[in-house]
Chains A and B, each alone.
Chain A
Amino acid sequence: MLQVRRVIHSFDSMTVLSDLSFDVPAGKFVCIVGPNGCGKTTLLRLIAGLARPTRGEIVLNGKPIQEPGPERGFVFQEYALFPWRSVRKNIEFGLEMRGVAPLQRREISKRYIDLVGLRGFEDYAIRRLSGGMKQKVSIARALANEPIVILMDEPFAALDCQTRNVMQEELLNIWDASRERKTILFVTHNVEEAVFLADLVLVLSHRPGRLVEALPVNLPRPRDRISPELHRLRGHILDLLAAQMPREELLQESCEVVRD
């Protein structure tokens, strides 16, 4: 059980998360959606222990989170792989840090290389992999530490549409195949992706981020991407998100985009 309790987070004078509370039961696949800049990434970093909340606390199985720990894996949008290490060596990084013996490391990394379907690429340099393969390495690297929670920050955002769909399905398979169901917190701005993957979708408001609605998705898997239920859910979430942004701000943001 992961509990986020009255978390407030500010950078200097800007409040990014305001009074956010929710619980995630163990083994659930939770997607977090919200407008850009609503603090989705910040929330994941707080849960990872990469930053401490300004106020409030985050508790995992009764223990308050103070710093990063191997029981919480992180998958970054930018892959964040170590370019000087091979595929295998990247996956073994966390095991090395924990002092696992080389033979055992090899055994564990082999298992996860097989799981994500990278057999034959063990000794490849990272730069030789495609985006989808890189993200698989990153997922395997996080899994090799046997975390109970996996935090994923827009992991498929940089992939093309077809690859993204394949990766979503493979992620669900991997999640299914892990010995104990892991809790996944998956940040995305892609509503379609959220309703396809999640048991529970958390909709956050525009900055400062608050919880607008927690929507359970009680549909069996594998899900049909174009089923009316998913379509209806998607519509509902998009309405919620659209209501989040005052009109002037929408205009302002689009101007900023133009200026960039």
Chain B
Amino acid sequence: MAVKAAGEGIGTASQRVETRDGPRVASIGLRMLDAFPFVTRHPSLVTRHGLSLLSIASFLALWHLLAIVIASPYLPTPLAVARAAIAAFFERDFLGFTIQQHIASSLVRIVWGFGLAALLAVPLGLASGWLRSVEHLTGPVVELLRPIPPLAWIPFAIYFFGDPFDAVFIVFLAAFFPILLSTLAGVKAVDPILIDAARTLGAKRLRLFLQVVLPAALGNIVTGMRIGLGVGWMCIMAAEMVGVKGGGLGVYIWSMGEIGRFDAVFAGMAIIGVVGIALTGAMGWVEKRISKA
């Protein structure tokens, strides 16, 4: 009866599971689990939110504990970080920027770099996926440049382009190749039978491309964009830390580290995380709009 009272997942599982030692042992093992009623495969909504809260609370508690025990100037407590984060919105740092301005600088670079990359990589990927000759023309150069990590271009970019195009260029490189390769793969993965079907229905050349190849490859294109955006966001941080001028979240955390303000460093990290989530969310929204159209 105790088993049944424990509810959904566990109760029924313990009656069904049979191990080599016989069903009794398994049943005892599972009954011990009954002490934790939230350990089920399909927890309720309330349980789910409760668990999320518990997860974050324990993380913060552990962090706090560690920070106090270790007592290092490089590991601030969560409370100190929160204070620094709030202050950063209202006070200018020694570089003369508020955190909003840093966020804006990074976002502008991402938007330009990513936008240009998408604008160039999608058509190029479509063309080289659909037309063999374009693939043979562009393929070797792409394979030559692709293995160079975008970050390796930073010295060149800083001295050649300068602010603000250096950072835009790095984001562009970071986003370009994932978008290009995904788009190319998307076009190549179009089921040939769909193309045959369209041809028997009277589709030719441009129509065939616009009405069949493009919609069929759309999923891959968007995936490439999401990866490109992620890589771009990573690379912009690195570029800003290395010496891109004119503010930015990477500049902020690096500068704060240099003057030993590690509460502000962690605050900056948290904000980078939040902006990253927002970017992913925006991409997801675009994705949904595209797939609905």
Residues of A within 8 A of B (CB): 45, 48-50, 68-70, 72-74, 76, 78, 80-82, 84, 93-94, 96-98, 141-142, 145, 151
Contacts and interface: CB of A to CB of B under 8 A. Distances in A.
Interface of B: 191, 193-194, 196-204, 207, 211-212, 215-216, 218
Contacts of A145: 201-202
Query: Which are the 10 A-B pairs with shortest beta-carbon distances?
Result: A94-B201, A80-B197, A74-B200, A97-B202, A68-B199, A70-B202, A84-B215, A80-B193, A97-B203, A68-B200
Given A78-B193, A82-B215, A97-B207, A48 B200 contact: yes
A96 B199 CA distance: 13
A234 to B, nearest CB: 31
Contacts of B216: 82, 84
Interface centre among A68, A70, A98 (most CB of B within 10 A): A68
A184 B27 CA distance: 63
A92 to B, nearest CB: 10
Contacts of A69: 202
Nearest to B198: A93
A74 B199 CA distance: 10
Contacts of A98: 202
A22 to B, nearest CB: 21
B210 to A, nearest CB: 11
B202 A94 contact: yes
A72 B201 contact: no
B249 to A, nearest CB: 38
Given A78-B193, A82-B194, A84-B216, A93 B211 contact: yes
Contact of B201 (A45, A97, A151): A97
A95 B215 CA distance: 18
Given A68-B199, A97-B207, 14 more contacts: A50-B199, A72-B200, A76-B193, A76-B196, A76-B197, A80-B193, A81-B197, A82-B194, A82-B215, A84-B215, A93-B203, A93-B211, A142-B200, A151-B200
A84 B194 CA distance: 12
Given A82-B215, A93-B211, A97-B207, A70 B201 contact: yes
A73 B200 contact: yes
Nearest to B204: A97
A62 B243 CA distance: 75
11 contacts: A45-B196, A68-B199, A69-B202, A73-B201, A81-B197, A82-B194, A82-B212, A82-B215, A93-B201, A93-B203, A94-B201
